Amino acid sequence: MTHPDAETALACLRLARTDGIGPVSYRKLIRTHGSVEAALAMLERGATRISRTIGPLCPRDDALRELERLHAMGGTLLTHGQPGYPALLAALPDAPPVLSVLGDATLLCARMVGIVGGRNASSGGLRMAESLAALLAAHGVHTVSGLARGIDGAAHRGAMTAGRTVAAIAGGLDCPYPPEHAALQAEIARTGAVVTEAALGTVPQARHFPRRNRLIAGLGLGCVVVEAALRSGSLITARMALDYGRTLFAVPGSPLDPRCRGSNDLLRQGAVVTETERDILRELPETIEENDLFGAPPRPVRHNAAPSGGQALAPLRPDPAPPPPAQGDLHEMVEGFLSFTPSPVDDLVRRCQFSTAAVLTVLSEMEIAGTIEFLAGDLVVRRPPPA
Amino acid sequence: MTHPDAETALACLRLARTDGIGPVSYRKLIRTHGSVEAALAMLERGATRISRTIGPLCPRDDALRELERLHAMGGTLLTHGQPGYPALLAALPDAPPVLSVLGDATLLCARMVGIVGGRNASSGGLRMAESLAALLAAHGVHTVSGLARGIDGAAHRGAMTAGRTVAAIAGGLDCPYPPEHAALQAEIARTGAVVTEAALGTVPQARHFPRRNRLIAGLGLGCVVVEAALRSGSLITARMALDYGRTLFAVPGSPLDPRCRGSNDLLRQGAVVTETERDILRELPETIEENDLFGAPPRPVRHNAAPSGGQALAPLRPDPAPPPPAQGDLHEMVEGFLSFTPSPVDDLVRRCQFSTAAVLTVLSEMEIAGTIEFLAGDLVVRRPPPA
C-alpha cells in the first residue's frame, strides 16, 4: 500500500469504520482538519473534542485487511472526494464516506432512477416494475433498487438484461440478503454493479436499511414507487429522495388493494403520476450535470407535510388537507427516550410503539444531524451538545 | 293555467322548447327584453334579430300539453330564476332554462357530488362507486349520476337506500335509457329524483348527452371519476365540472387496466386522489352557500391544459409536461367544417375523425358560446356573427 491514493483510501476507511463517526461527523472532521489524514492524526492523538464521543479508532490493519479482501473479490472502494465517487451522492449533506462496489463501479455515475416497492407485491406490480425498468434501460436510464423480494427484484431483472442495474444493499458485499437473492446479486455484480456502505462481513440488520435506502434515494435522479403499503420501507426511501430534492414518481393503484395505499398517498402529496416510462423520462434532466442539485443547500427534513396535490385546472382549494399521522410526535418521543447511556434500538422501538422502520428513520436523521450515534451491539446513544 | 307562476313557467317552456334557442341565447333574450314574457312577445312579433336564426316558436298548446303530461306523471317543472331551481346550476353561464323532475325536486338543492365512470367497469370499480356513494350518503352528501350502465348504476344504488341520489338523464322522463335501467330509474324517482333538460317524449340521442353531463357537472359541488378510459364520456363531464370551478376527484387505478387511463390522467392534471369518502368530504364546502362559485365570472373553457401535478414536497419541476392530444385542433377542425347551411352532426363526426363524444363536446361549447345552434333532425348550423 505505497500508492498515495491507496493510503488516502485507507485513511478514509479507518475513519468510516470507526464507531460513532457518521457521515455528517466524518465530513465535519475533514472540513475542520483539512484532510482525512490530518483528521485521522488528530483523532489518534485524542486531540479533538469528538474523540471523546466515538469508539476506538479502526486499526490500520483492520482497514487494510478489508481493502485487500475487497480487491481480492474484484471489488472497488470509492471514497467521497476521490474520482469515481458518484456526483449525485457527493452532493448530499450526509454523503456516505466510503462505498464498496462489486461490478462496474462507473455505473454509479450513470443517469439512474430508484425503483422501490413492497416485498409482497401483486403480479401487476411486479409486471409494472419489471417493464418500467426494462423500458427505462432501453432509453439509457439505469435502475437502482434494494435487492429485496418483490418490486426490487422485478426492477433489477427488468434492467439487468440491458446491463443497466445497480443493487444497493444493507450488509457487506459478501453477505447477500435475502439469501434467495444471492444468485441475483451475483448476476447483477457480473452485468451491473452492487454497492454498499457496509464493511465486508456485515450481516444486514434492521438498522442498516436506512443507509441502503439513502443510497437508492441518493444515486437516482428520481425515485419511482410501485406498490407501497402505508408505513412501508419504500416510503422512507421516497421521503429521503424528496429531502434530497429528487423527483418522486408513484404508480397509481386500486384503493381496494392495501399494497397501494402508500404509493397512492404519495400521489396525494404531489408525486408524478406514473403509468409508463414516458412519465419518468419526461421529468428527468438530460444529464446528471443539468440537474440543479449541486450547490443547493441541503433541504430540511420536513415532518407533517400537508398533503394536497394542487388542482392544476381548478381554483386552489382553500383548506389544505389535515396532516398525516404525526411523524413529528415520533421524533419527540424518540428524543424523550434517548439518553447519554447507550440503549438498545429494539427497546426504543418497543417503547415508541411505532414501526421499526419509522423509528430507524428518525434515528437515522438524528445521526445525520449529529445528535446521536449508533454503537456496536445495536445500541444508540445521545451525543453531548456542542459546548 | 290561470296562476301567474304557471303562465311564466309556460312562457319559459315555450322559449326553451324552440329550436335554435340554447341556454345562452335564452339568457340573453331575457336579459335583453327584461322578462321571459316580454322576450316571448318580441319573438312572436318577429321583432328581434335572433328571430331570424331560430326555428318557429314552440306553440303555447304544445308547451301546455307537455306541462300537463308532466304534472299527470307527478313531475315538476323548474325554471331558471324561479324558486326551487338549484342554486349551483343557476350560477352557470349556460344554466338550463327548464328542468323536468320526477321525484323529490328539493333534492336538487342538496349538498351533492357527481360520481361518473365507465360503462364496462371492473368489479373493483363498481364496488368503489357503490361504497363511495353509500358512505357519502351516510354523511348527508347526495350523489348525482347519469343512470348509465356500470359506474353510474353502482353509484345510484349505493346512495339510493339512504334516499340520496339524483339521476340526470339525456332524454325525456318517459324515455328511460338504457332500457334495462327503467326499473332503476323508477326506483330513483320514488326514493330520490330524476332530472332532465329534455322534453317528454325525447328519445335520447348522442347529441343529448352533453346536456346530461352538464347537469351532473353543474349540480355537484365536486365530480368524482371512478374508472374512465381515455377519451371517454366521463372525462367530458369531468372537464365541464372543472370549467364550472368544481373540485375534481379521481380514483387511482392500475396503469395495466385501460379502464383507468383516463381517471389516472385526471390525477396527473391535479384531480384529488380519492381512496375513501374522506378524501371527498375533506374538500367539500360545509354548505352550498359557502362555496365561492356564486358571482364568480365564468371561467374560460381551457383546451390543451398542461397536465402537471405539482410536487408538494419537491422543488417545482422546471418543464411542464407536454400537452395531451390537441383538443384545440378539434375545435378548429369543427369550425372549419361548419357552415351557415345546416349539416348533419354525424357527417361532422365522420369528417373530423374524432370520437362522437369529443365532437359533441366541442359543439356543445360552441352552442354555449352562441356561435352555432342545433336544429331538429340532428343538424347543426353556424349562427351569423353579431353585426
Beta strand pairing call for A272-273 and A247-250:
parallel
| pLDDT given at position B318 | 25
Residue whose cell numbers read 411523524: A327
Backbone phi, psi, residue B149, to 5°: -65, 165
Q: Which residue has the cell 360503462?
A: B119
Cβ proximity of B106 and B250 under 8 Å:
no
> Residues of B with CB below 8 A from A254's CB?
124, 128, 251-254
Q: Which of A283, A305, A311 sits opposite B312 (nearest CB)?
A: A305
**CA nearest to B226 within chain A:** A254
Most B-contacting residue of A265, A273, A286 (CB-CB within 10 A), to test interface: A273
Q: How many pairs of residues across A and B have Cβ atoms under 8 Å apart?
A: 145
In A, which residues are within 8 Å of B312 by CB distance?
Answer: 269-270, 305-310
Instruction: Answer whether B313 sits within 8 Å of A269, measured CB to CB.
Output: yes
What pLDDT score was predicted for residue A350? Answer: 76
Indicate the residue of B269, B292, B314 with minimum beta-carbon distance to A312.
Answer: B269
Distance CA A70, CA A78 (A): 11
Would you state the pLDDT for residue B198? 96
Residue among B236, B254, B260 with most chain A CBs within 10 A, to mutate: B254
Q: What is the DSSP code (8-state) at residue A121?
A: -
Question: Which residues in B lie closer than 8 A to residue A270 (C-beta atoms)?
Answer: 309-314
- What is the rounded CA–CA span in Å between residue B32 and residue B54? 17
A379-382/A247-250 β-pairing: unpaired
Which of B292, B302, B311 is closest, CB to CB, to A248?
Answer: B311
How much is the pLDDT for A293?
Answer: 52
In Å, how far is B267's CA from the nearest CA of chain A? 7
Is some CB atom of chain B closer than 8 A to the CB atom of A327? no
How is residue A330 written as a grid cell?
Answer: 415520533
Q: How far apart are CA B270 and CA A122, in angstroms?
A: 27
Separation of first and last alpha carbons in chain A: 39
Rounded Cα–Cα distance for residues B11 and A300 (Å) = 66
Closest residue to A127, CB basis, from B256, B269, B322: B256
Q: Sheet containing A76-79: give its strands across.
A: A76-79, A98-103, A193-196, A165-169, A142-145, A112-117, A222-226, A247-250, A272-273
B 225-254 residues with CB < 8 A to A: 242, 245-248, 251-254
Task: Tell me whether B260 touches chain A (CB under 8 Å).
Answer: yes
The whole-number pLDDT of residue A383 equals 77
Q: At what angle do helices B23-33 and B36-44 cross, to 10 degrees?
A: 100
Distance from CA of B287 to the nearest CA of A (A): 14
Cell of B39: 322576450
B144 closest CA partner among B120, B125, B124, B167: B167
In terms of DSSP H, where are the helices of chain A? 4-16, 23-33, 36-44, 60-72, 87-90, 123-138, 151-160, 182-191, 209-219, 233-243, 261-268, 277-281, 327-337, 345-352, 356-368
**Residue among B245, B305, B309 minimizing CB distance to A270:** B309
A302 → chain B, closest CA residue: B313
Domains of chain B with bracketed CATH: 4-72 (no CATH), 105-288 (3.40.50.450), 327-382 (1.10.10.10)
Residues of chain A with pLDDT under 50: 1-2, 294-325, 387
Interchain proximity A256–B306, CB inside 8 Å:
no
Q: Are A267 and B273 in contact (CB under 8 A)?
A: yes
Q: Which ipTM value was assigned to this complex?
A: 0.73
Q: In angstroms, what separates the C-alpha of A294 from chain B's closest C-alpha?
A: 14
> Distances in Å between the alpha carbon of A160 and those of A156, A197, B193?
6, 22, 58
Q: Residue B305: name the closest of B228, B243, B229 by CA.
A: B243
Nearest Cβ partner of A267 from B128, B252, B276? B252
A268 contact B CB<8A: yes
| Low-confidence residues of chain B: pLDDT under 70 | 1-4, 47-52, 290-328, 357, 368-369, 376-377, 385-387
Question: Rounded to an integer, what distance in angstroms lies between the CA atom of residue B270 and that of residue B319?
Answer: 16
Distance CA A49, CA A387 (A): 10
Which string of DSSP letters, residue by residue, matches B151-219? Answer: HHHHHHHHHHTTT-EEEEESS-TTS-SSGGGHHHHHHHHHHSEEEESSPTT----GGGHHHHHHHHHHH
- Sheet with A379-382, side-by-side order of all strands: A343-344, A379-382, A372-375
> Residue B298 and residue B305: Cα distance in Å, rounded?
17
Report d(CA A113, CA B281) in Å as an integer: 36
Choose the closest CB to B317 out of A247, A268, A276: A247
- The C-alpha cell at A374 is 449508533
- List of residues 6+ apart from A47 with CB closer than 8 A: none
pTM of the model: 0.77
Q: What is the pLDDT of residue B265?
A: 96
